[in-house]
Structure 1
Amino acid sequence: MIIKPLTQAEENIMQIMWRLNRATVKEIIDEIPLPKPAYNTVSTVVRVLEKKKIIGHVSEGNSHIYYPLISEADYMHYSVDKVLRDYFKNSYKNLVSFLVEKQDMSSKDIAELEALIKTLKKGKS
């Protein structure tokens, strides 16, 4: 499945869709914090997501019930791969070095990361 990049507005709607799993446009709007966008604005974003094959719908009466076609985990993988490719030359080492050096990771965070790496290495042995 080819995943297409999402705008910030599309990602915001998808966060709601992944949480609710099925929703009408009205139910999506109910989950958005104040100030609420116009119904037509959210409806347009939802239609774009459907055109991108990120969500689908079923008709129930006069309503459309929308549901995710890709999982949040799949989109997370896509996003991390894109960041890795676009900013870190496809190098996990560069990514982890950036996180450790630039994000003020605590000694505890670094120790947990080292423990995770050891655990993952054992699983691949």
Structure 2
Amino acid sequence: MKKLTEKEDQIMQVIWRLENAFIREVVAELQEPKPHYNTVATLIKILVKKGFLTSEKLGNTDRYRAIIPMEVYRQEQIKGIKEKYFGNSLPKMMAHFAKQENLSDQEIEELIGIIKSKNNKRS
């Protein structure tokens, strides 16, 4: 799966949140300083070519929606980070984040609970 540029990712975040959108709606949701309408339109056309978006003609304009769900894209990106930076080791990756983030006891307990519940489902 192709990787999104920073600007493409900003647009996809809006479309994932709205589920479908016209270009003007995407522009309205972007943070200041807002890019020009034509810039957003060009980026959306690129996202269609890359296979991230599809369009539906409504009158004179197109409404766009994501083909690739955010969860699928996120999983692919995390998998790539795990492989590239942590030798494909989930424990090493989790240890890195546990050390970098100043986790509270409650957050640690929450993570342990998630891991235990996942392991119990396998048994």
TM range (shorter): over 0.9
CA deviation vs aligned residue, 1:32-73 (integer Å, no higher than 9, x gap) = 122211011101110110110000101112101111001111
Rounded Cα–Cα distance in structure 2 between residues aligned with 1:106 and 1:13: 33
Rounded Cα–Cα distance in structure 2 between residues aligned with 1:79 and 1:7: 12
Match of 1:24 among 22, 25, 47: 22
Rounded Cα–Cα distance in structure 2 between residues aligned with 1:27 and 1:69: 18
| Number of residues of Structure 1 aligned to a counterpart in Structure 2 | 123
Match of 1:63 among 41, 61, 64: 61
Rounded Cα–Cα distance in structure 2 between residues aligned with 1:104 and 1:18: 30
Q: Which runs of 4+ in 1 moved over 6 A?
A: none
Aligned to 1:44: 42
Q: Are the aligned partners of 1:84 and 1:92 in contact in 2 as well (CA < 8 Å)? A: yes
TM-score of the superposed pair, with normalisation by structure 1? 0.93
Aligned to 1:94: 92
Match of 2:76 among 67, 75, 78: 78
Q: Are the aligned partners of 1:99 and 1:105 in contact in 2 as well (CA < 8 Å)? A: no
Aligned-residue CA RMSD (Å) = 1.0
TM-score of the superposed pair, with normalisation by structure 2? 0.95
The percent identity for this pair of structures is 33
Equivalent position SS for 2:54: strand
- Unaligned residue ranges in structure 2 (runs of 5+): none
